[in-house]
Amino acid sequence: MVRAAVLPAVGSPLEITDIELPEPGPGQVRVRLAAAGVCHSDLSLSNGTMRVPTPCVLGHEGAGTVVSVGEGVTHVAVGDGVVLNWAPSCGSCHHCGIGEVWLCVNALAGAASVYARTADGAELYPGLNVAAFAEESVVAANCVLPAPDGVPLTDAALLGCAVLTGYGAIHHAARVRAGESVVVFGAGGVGLATLQSARIAGASTIIAVDVSPEKEELARQAGATEYVVASDTTVRQIRALTGGRGADVAIECVGRAATIRTAWESTRRGGRTTVVGIGGKDQQVTFNALEIFHWGRTLSGCVYGNSDPARDLPVLADHIRAGRLDLGDLVTARIGLAGIPAAFEDMLAGKGGRALVVF
Protein backbone atom coordinates (compact mmCIF):
# COMPACT_ATOMS: atom_id res chain seq x y z
CA MET A 1 0.00 0.00 0.00
CA VAL A 2 1.12 3.57 -0.69
CA ARG A 3 -0.43 6.92 0.22
CA ALA A 4 -2.01 8.93 -2.58
CA ALA A 5 -4.30 11.89 -3.22
CA VAL A 6 -7.37 10.39 -4.91
CA LEU A 7 -9.96 12.39 -6.86
CA PRO A 8 -13.20 10.38 -6.31
CA ALA A 9 -15.17 12.30 -8.94
CA VAL A 10 -14.94 15.55 -10.87
CA GLY A 11 -15.64 18.42 -8.50
CA SER A 12 -15.14 16.33 -5.37
CA PRO A 13 -12.50 17.06 -2.71
CA LEU A 14 -9.29 15.06 -2.88
CA GLU A 15 -9.02 12.16 -0.45
CA ILE A 16 -5.65 11.21 1.04
CA THR A 17 -5.82 7.45 1.32
CA ASP A 18 -4.00 4.17 0.77
CA ILE A 19 -3.93 2.61 -2.70
CA GLU A 20 -2.65 -0.73 -3.91
CA LEU A 21 -0.21 -0.78 -6.82
CA PRO A 22 0.51 -3.87 -8.89
CA GLU A 23 4.03 -4.93 -9.73
CA PRO A 24 5.12 -3.54 -13.10
CA GLY A 25 4.15 -5.67 -16.08
CA PRO A 26 5.98 -5.86 -19.42
CA GLY A 27 7.04 -2.40 -20.54
CA GLN A 28 6.26 -0.79 -17.18
CA VAL A 29 8.27 0.89 -14.43
CA ARG A 30 7.54 1.41 -10.74
CA VAL A 31 8.80 4.74 -9.39
CA ARG A 32 9.14 6.01 -5.83
CA LEU A 33 8.37 9.74 -6.06
CA ALA A 34 10.79 12.27 -4.62
CA ALA A 35 8.60 15.25 -5.44
CA ALA A 36 5.63 16.32 -7.55
CA GLY A 37 4.68 19.83 -8.65
CA VAL A 38 1.11 21.08 -8.27
CA CYS A 39 0.16 22.43 -11.69
CA HIS A 40 -2.87 24.42 -12.81
CA SER A 41 -3.67 21.53 -15.16
CA ASP A 42 -4.29 19.33 -12.10
CA LEU A 43 -6.80 21.91 -10.89
CA SER A 44 -8.41 21.98 -14.35
CA LEU A 45 -8.75 18.20 -14.27
CA SER A 46 -10.24 18.21 -10.78
CA ASN A 47 -12.91 20.81 -11.60
CA GLY A 48 -13.88 19.42 -15.01
CA THR A 49 -12.30 22.05 -17.27
CA MET A 50 -10.39 19.12 -18.77
CA ARG A 51 -11.83 15.61 -18.90
CA VAL A 52 -10.39 12.75 -16.90
CA PRO A 53 -11.73 9.28 -15.97
CA THR A 54 -12.46 8.99 -12.25
CA PRO A 55 -11.72 7.95 -9.61
CA CYS A 56 -8.12 8.79 -10.34
CA VAL A 57 -4.81 9.94 -8.92
CA LEU A 58 -3.77 13.29 -10.39
CA GLY A 59 -0.26 14.77 -10.60
CA HIS A 60 1.79 14.82 -13.77
CA GLU A 61 4.95 16.77 -12.91
CA GLY A 62 7.32 14.61 -10.92
CA ALA A 63 10.62 12.84 -10.46
CA GLY A 64 11.76 9.90 -8.40
CA THR A 65 13.74 6.67 -8.22
CA VAL A 66 13.07 3.44 -10.09
CA VAL A 67 11.96 0.71 -7.65
CA SER A 68 11.38 -2.11 -10.13
CA VAL A 69 11.01 -2.67 -13.87
CA GLY A 70 8.95 -5.00 -15.98
CA GLU A 71 10.08 -7.27 -18.79
CA GLY A 72 11.61 -5.49 -21.78
CA VAL A 73 12.56 -2.26 -20.01
CA THR A 74 16.21 -1.47 -20.75
CA HIS A 75 16.66 2.33 -20.75
CA VAL A 76 16.35 2.62 -16.96
CA ALA A 77 17.23 0.28 -14.11
CA VAL A 78 16.44 -0.13 -10.42
CA GLY A 79 17.95 2.76 -8.47
CA ASP A 80 18.02 5.21 -11.39
CA GLY A 81 16.66 8.72 -10.94
CA VAL A 82 13.97 9.54 -13.48
CA VAL A 83 11.77 12.43 -14.60
CA LEU A 84 8.16 11.59 -15.39
CA ASN A 85 6.92 12.38 -18.90
CA TRP A 86 3.13 12.71 -18.80
CA ALA A 87 2.78 12.99 -22.60
CA PRO A 88 4.93 10.27 -24.17
CA SER A 89 4.97 10.10 -27.95
CA CYS A 90 3.97 6.87 -29.64
CA GLY A 91 6.40 7.30 -32.53
CA SER A 92 3.94 5.98 -35.10
CA CYS A 93 1.11 8.51 -35.56
CA HIS A 94 1.13 11.24 -38.21
CA HIS A 95 2.34 13.97 -35.82
CA CYS A 96 5.18 11.85 -34.49
CA GLY A 97 6.14 11.02 -38.05
CA ILE A 98 6.59 14.69 -38.94
CA GLY A 99 8.43 15.55 -35.74
CA GLU A 100 5.52 17.13 -33.82
CA VAL A 101 5.79 14.72 -30.89
CA TRP A 102 4.01 17.16 -28.53
CA LEU A 103 0.85 16.64 -30.60
CA CYS A 104 0.97 12.82 -30.52
CA VAL A 105 -2.61 11.55 -30.79
CA ASN A 106 -1.83 8.58 -28.53
CA ALA A 107 0.01 10.48 -25.81
CA LEU A 108 -2.76 10.14 -23.23
CA ALA A 109 -3.89 6.63 -24.10
CA GLY A 110 -2.61 5.29 -20.78
CA ALA A 111 -4.82 7.66 -18.78
CA ALA A 112 -7.89 5.67 -19.84
CA SER A 113 -6.62 2.38 -18.36
CA VAL A 114 -6.99 1.22 -14.76
CA TYR A 115 -3.57 1.20 -13.10
CA ALA A 116 -4.26 0.64 -9.37
CA ARG A 117 -6.97 0.01 -6.78
CA THR A 118 -8.09 1.63 -3.57
CA ALA A 119 -7.81 -0.28 -0.28
CA ASP A 120 -11.41 -1.47 -0.72
CA GLY A 121 -10.81 -2.69 -4.28
CA ALA A 122 -12.20 0.18 -6.38
CA GLU A 123 -10.45 0.72 -9.73
CA LEU A 124 -8.26 3.79 -10.14
CA TYR A 125 -7.09 5.66 -13.23
CA PRO A 126 -3.76 7.52 -13.58
CA GLY A 127 -4.74 11.20 -14.10
CA LEU A 128 -2.41 12.27 -16.90
CA ASN A 129 -0.70 8.88 -17.32
CA VAL A 130 1.72 9.11 -14.38
CA ALA A 131 -0.36 9.66 -11.17
CA ALA A 132 2.38 11.61 -9.41
CA PHE A 133 0.30 12.61 -6.37
CA ALA A 134 1.31 9.37 -4.66
CA GLU A 135 4.32 8.00 -2.83
CA GLU A 136 4.86 5.55 -5.69
CA SER A 137 3.42 5.00 -9.17
CA VAL A 138 3.51 2.37 -11.91
CA VAL A 139 3.86 3.91 -15.36
CA ALA A 140 4.61 2.91 -18.94
CA ALA A 141 8.33 2.80 -19.67
CA ASN A 142 8.04 5.65 -22.17
CA CYS A 143 6.74 7.84 -19.34
CA VAL A 144 10.14 7.96 -17.65
CA LEU A 145 13.32 9.66 -18.78
CA PRO A 146 16.72 9.49 -17.04
CA ALA A 147 17.06 12.41 -14.63
CA PRO A 148 19.88 14.84 -15.50
CA ASP A 149 23.13 14.32 -13.60
CA GLY A 150 23.80 16.85 -10.88
CA VAL A 151 20.16 17.96 -10.48
CA PRO A 152 18.43 16.98 -7.20
CA LEU A 153 15.33 14.89 -7.85
CA THR A 154 13.16 17.31 -5.88
CA ASP A 155 14.19 20.04 -8.33
CA ALA A 156 14.09 17.75 -11.37
CA ALA A 157 10.36 17.21 -10.77
CA LEU A 158 9.74 20.69 -12.19
CA LEU A 159 11.31 19.69 -15.49
CA GLY A 160 8.35 17.41 -16.19
CA CYS A 161 5.93 20.23 -16.98
CA ALA A 162 6.55 23.82 -15.81
CA VAL A 163 10.08 24.18 -17.12
CA LEU A 164 9.64 22.21 -20.34
CA THR A 165 6.51 24.24 -21.06
CA GLY A 166 8.00 27.65 -20.24
CA TYR A 167 11.29 26.96 -21.99
CA GLY A 168 9.53 25.52 -25.03
CA ALA A 169 7.08 28.41 -25.26
CA ILE A 170 10.01 30.80 -25.63
CA HIS A 171 12.44 28.71 -27.68
CA HIS A 172 10.17 26.48 -29.79
CA ALA A 173 6.72 28.05 -30.06
CA ALA A 174 7.44 31.80 -30.08
CA ARG A 175 11.09 31.38 -31.19
CA VAL A 176 12.22 34.46 -29.32
CA ARG A 177 15.36 36.04 -30.75
CA ALA A 178 18.04 37.90 -28.85
CA GLY A 179 17.14 41.58 -28.47
CA GLU A 180 13.38 41.10 -28.78
CA SER A 181 10.94 42.35 -26.16
CA VAL A 182 8.76 39.78 -24.38
CA VAL A 183 5.71 40.15 -22.15
CA VAL A 184 4.59 37.19 -20.02
CA PHE A 185 1.04 37.10 -18.64
CA GLY A 186 0.81 35.13 -15.41
CA ALA A 187 3.64 34.70 -12.88
CA GLY A 188 2.80 31.25 -11.57
CA GLY A 189 5.11 28.26 -11.96
CA VAL A 190 4.95 28.16 -15.77
CA GLY A 191 5.12 31.95 -16.03
CA LEU A 192 8.24 32.11 -13.86
CA ALA A 193 9.88 29.39 -15.98
CA THR A 194 8.93 31.38 -19.08
CA LEU A 195 10.55 34.53 -17.67
CA GLN A 196 13.76 32.64 -16.94
CA SER A 197 13.70 31.21 -20.44
CA ALA A 198 13.20 34.65 -21.99
CA ARG A 199 16.29 35.80 -20.15
CA ILE A 200 18.23 32.79 -21.45
CA ALA A 201 17.07 33.63 -24.99
CA GLY A 202 18.58 37.11 -24.66
CA ALA A 203 15.34 39.10 -24.69
CA SER A 204 16.01 42.78 -24.08
CA THR A 205 12.89 43.99 -22.27
CA ILE A 206 11.09 41.28 -20.27
CA ILE A 207 7.74 42.37 -18.84
CA ALA A 208 5.79 40.29 -16.33
CA VAL A 209 2.05 40.89 -15.93
CA ASP A 210 0.02 39.47 -13.04
CA VAL A 211 -3.02 40.42 -10.98
CA SER A 212 -0.99 40.18 -7.78
CA PRO A 213 1.40 42.99 -6.74
CA GLU A 214 3.03 40.52 -4.33
CA LYS A 215 4.56 38.53 -7.19
CA GLU A 216 6.81 41.35 -8.41
CA GLU A 217 9.87 40.18 -6.48
CA LEU A 218 9.43 36.60 -7.74
CA ALA A 219 9.05 37.83 -11.33
CA ARG A 220 12.09 40.10 -11.20
CA GLN A 221 14.17 37.34 -9.65
CA ALA A 222 13.15 35.11 -12.57
CA GLY A 223 14.28 37.68 -15.14
CA ALA A 224 11.58 40.32 -15.52
CA THR A 225 13.00 43.77 -16.15
CA GLU A 226 9.55 45.35 -15.71
CA TYR A 227 6.43 44.42 -13.74
CA VAL A 228 2.85 45.43 -14.49
CA VAL A 229 -0.11 44.77 -12.21
CA ALA A 230 -2.96 43.76 -14.51
CA SER A 231 -5.64 46.43 -15.00
CA ASP A 232 -7.63 48.09 -17.77
CA THR A 233 -4.48 50.09 -18.64
CA THR A 234 -2.23 47.04 -19.12
CA VAL A 235 -1.89 47.43 -22.89
CA ARG A 236 -1.01 51.12 -22.60
CA GLN A 237 1.59 50.38 -19.94
CA ILE A 238 3.22 47.70 -22.09
CA ARG A 239 3.33 50.05 -25.08
CA ALA A 240 4.96 52.71 -22.93
CA LEU A 241 7.65 50.20 -21.92
CA THR A 242 8.33 49.15 -25.52
CA GLY A 243 8.87 52.43 -27.33
CA GLY A 244 5.16 52.92 -28.02
CA ARG A 245 5.02 49.94 -30.39
CA GLY A 246 4.10 47.01 -28.17
CA ALA A 247 6.09 43.87 -27.39
CA ASP A 248 7.58 41.67 -30.08
CA VAL A 249 6.27 38.58 -28.30
CA ALA A 250 3.53 37.90 -25.73
CA ILE A 251 3.24 34.61 -23.85
CA GLU A 252 -0.15 33.98 -22.19
CA CYS A 253 0.10 31.56 -19.25
CA VAL A 254 -3.38 32.08 -17.78
CA GLY A 255 -5.91 30.53 -20.17
CA ARG A 256 -8.60 33.20 -19.99
CA ALA A 257 -10.26 34.78 -23.02
CA ALA A 258 -9.78 38.33 -21.72
CA THR A 259 -6.09 37.71 -20.99
CA ILE A 260 -5.50 36.18 -24.43
CA ARG A 261 -7.11 39.20 -26.05
CA THR A 262 -5.01 41.58 -23.91
CA ALA A 263 -1.83 39.66 -24.74
CA TRP A 264 -2.59 39.93 -28.46
CA GLU A 265 -3.30 43.66 -28.19
CA SER A 266 -0.08 44.22 -26.25
CA THR A 267 2.14 43.15 -29.15
CA ARG A 268 3.41 45.41 -31.91
CA ARG A 269 2.22 45.31 -35.48
CA GLY A 270 3.50 41.97 -36.76
CA GLY A 271 3.96 40.71 -33.19
CA ARG A 272 3.55 37.12 -32.00
CA THR A 273 1.30 35.83 -29.23
CA THR A 274 1.67 32.29 -27.89
CA VAL A 275 -1.06 30.85 -25.67
CA VAL A 276 0.21 28.42 -23.06
CA GLY A 277 -2.66 28.63 -20.55
CA ILE A 278 -5.46 26.06 -20.77
CA GLY A 279 -8.90 27.65 -20.76
CA GLY A 280 -12.40 26.21 -20.77
CA LYS A 281 -14.42 25.75 -23.94
CA ASP A 282 -16.73 28.53 -22.78
CA GLN A 283 -13.88 31.04 -23.02
CA GLN A 284 -14.49 32.72 -26.40
CA VAL A 285 -11.90 35.08 -27.92
CA THR A 286 -13.16 37.36 -30.71
CA PHE A 287 -11.43 39.41 -33.42
CA ASN A 288 -12.78 41.41 -36.33
CA ALA A 289 -11.56 40.77 -39.85
CA LEU A 290 -10.14 44.27 -40.37
CA GLU A 291 -7.90 44.23 -37.30
CA ILE A 292 -6.47 40.84 -38.24
CA PHE A 293 -5.43 42.31 -41.59
CA HIS A 294 -4.24 45.65 -40.22
CA TRP A 295 -2.10 44.43 -37.33
CA GLY A 296 -0.56 41.43 -39.10
CA ARG A 297 -0.11 39.69 -35.77
CA THR A 298 0.22 35.96 -35.16
CA LEU A 299 -1.75 34.06 -32.52
CA SER A 300 -0.77 30.45 -31.86
CA GLY A 301 -1.40 27.68 -29.38
CA CYS A 302 1.32 25.81 -27.53
CA VAL A 303 1.10 22.25 -26.19
CA TYR A 304 3.70 21.18 -23.59
CA GLY A 305 5.92 23.99 -24.86
CA ASN A 306 6.06 22.29 -28.28
CA SER A 307 8.82 20.29 -26.60
CA ASP A 308 10.41 16.93 -27.14
CA PRO A 309 11.47 15.92 -23.61
CA ALA A 310 14.14 13.50 -24.81
CA ARG A 311 15.74 16.32 -26.82
CA ASP A 312 15.15 19.17 -24.41
CA LEU A 313 15.96 17.71 -20.98
CA PRO A 314 19.73 17.55 -21.68
CA VAL A 315 19.64 21.17 -22.88
CA LEU A 316 17.81 22.26 -19.74
CA ALA A 317 20.29 20.33 -17.61
CA ASP A 318 23.15 22.29 -19.19
CA HIS A 319 21.38 25.56 -18.35
CA ILE A 320 20.85 24.40 -14.75
CA ARG A 321 24.47 23.33 -14.24
CA ALA A 322 25.67 26.61 -15.75
CA GLY A 323 23.47 28.61 -13.36
CA ARG A 324 21.34 30.13 -16.12
CA LEU A 325 18.21 28.28 -14.95
CA ASP A 326 17.34 28.17 -11.24
CA LEU A 327 14.63 25.63 -10.45
CA GLY A 328 14.52 26.58 -6.79
CA ASP A 329 13.33 30.07 -7.69
CA LEU A 330 10.10 28.61 -9.08
CA VAL A 331 9.07 26.96 -5.80
CA THR A 332 7.17 29.08 -3.29
CA ALA A 333 5.79 26.27 -1.09
CA ARG A 334 6.94 22.78 -0.14
CA ILE A 335 4.03 20.67 1.07
CA GLY A 336 2.82 17.14 1.72
CA LEU A 337 -0.04 15.35 -0.01
CA ALA A 338 -2.51 16.89 2.44
CA GLY A 339 -1.46 20.37 1.28
CA ILE A 340 -2.62 19.91 -2.32
CA PRO A 341 -6.19 21.26 -1.79
CA ALA A 342 -4.76 24.44 -0.22
CA ALA A 343 -2.35 24.73 -3.16
CA PHE A 344 -5.36 24.53 -5.51
CA GLU A 345 -7.01 27.36 -3.57
CA ASP A 346 -3.84 29.45 -3.82
CA MET A 347 -3.79 28.98 -7.59
CA LEU A 348 -7.41 30.07 -7.84
CA ALA A 349 -6.53 33.16 -5.80
CA GLY A 350 -3.47 33.92 -7.95
CA LYS A 351 -1.01 33.36 -5.10
CA GLY A 352 2.55 32.09 -5.26
CA GLY A 353 4.61 30.29 -7.87
CA ARG A 354 4.92 26.50 -7.84
CA ALA A 355 3.85 24.39 -4.85
CA LEU A 356 5.96 21.24 -4.62
CA VAL A 357 4.83 18.05 -2.91
CA VAL A 358 7.96 16.61 -1.30
CA PHE A 359 7.79 12.97 -0.21
Q: Look up the CATH number of domain 2-160+326-358.
A: 3.90.180.10
The CATH-assigned architecture of domain 166-302 is: 3-Layer(aba) Sandwich (3.40)
Nearest residue to 180 (alpha-carbon basis) of 277, 262, 251:
251
pLDDT in the model for residue 351: 87
Tens of pLDDT, residues 140-162: 999 999 999 989 999 999 999 99
pLDDT value, residue 350 = 86
Average pLDDT over residues 197-216: 97
pLDDT at 349: 87
Q: What is the pLDDT of residue 182?
A: 98
Tell me the average pLDDT across 153-174: 96
Instruction: Give the distance from CA 231 to its chain's centroid.
Output: 26
pLDDT at 133 over 90: yes
If you average pLDDT over residues 206-233, what whole number do you get? Answer: 97
| Residue whose C-alpha is closest to residue 108's, from 88, 79, 91, 92 | 88
pLDDT, average across residues 271-288: 94
If we measure between CA atoms, which residue out of 209, 188, 184 comes closest to residue 198? 184
Q: Are strands 116-118 and 136-140 parallel, antiparallel or unpaired?
A: unpaired
pLDDT of residue 288 exceeding 90, the answer is yes
Whether 352 has a pLDDT exceeding 90, the answer reads no
**pLDDT at residue 96 in the model:** 97
Taking Cα atoms as reference points, which of 167, 187, 136 lies closest to residue 318?
167
CA distance 174 to 275: 10
Per-residue pLDDT averaged across 8-32, rounded?
95
Does pLDDT of 325 surpass 90? yes
List every span in the chain annotated with CATH 3.40.50.720.
166-302
In the predicted structure, residue 348 carries a pLDDT above the cut 90: no
* pLDDT at position 32: 98
- Could you read off the pLDDT of 25-82 as tens digits, one per residue? 999 999 999 999 999 899 999 988 888 899 999 999 999 999 999 999 999 999 999 9
Give the containing element (helix H, strand E) for 97: helix 94-97
Q: What is the pLDDT of residue 51?
A: 87
Q: CB within 8 A of 8, min separation 6: which ones?
A: 15, 54, 55
Average pLDDT score, the chain: 95
Binning pLDDT at 50, 70 and 90, where does residue 280 land? confident
Q: Is the CB of residue 31 less than 8 Å from the CB of residue 64?
A: yes
- Whether pLDDT at 276 is above 90: yes
Q: Look up residue 350 and give its DSSP letter.
A: T
pLDDT of residue 316: 96
Which residue intervals of the chain bear CATH 3.90.180.10?
2-160+326-358
Q: What local confidence, expressed as pLDDT, does residue 222 receive?
A: 96
Give me the DSSP letters along 214-230: GGHHHHHHHT-SEEEE-
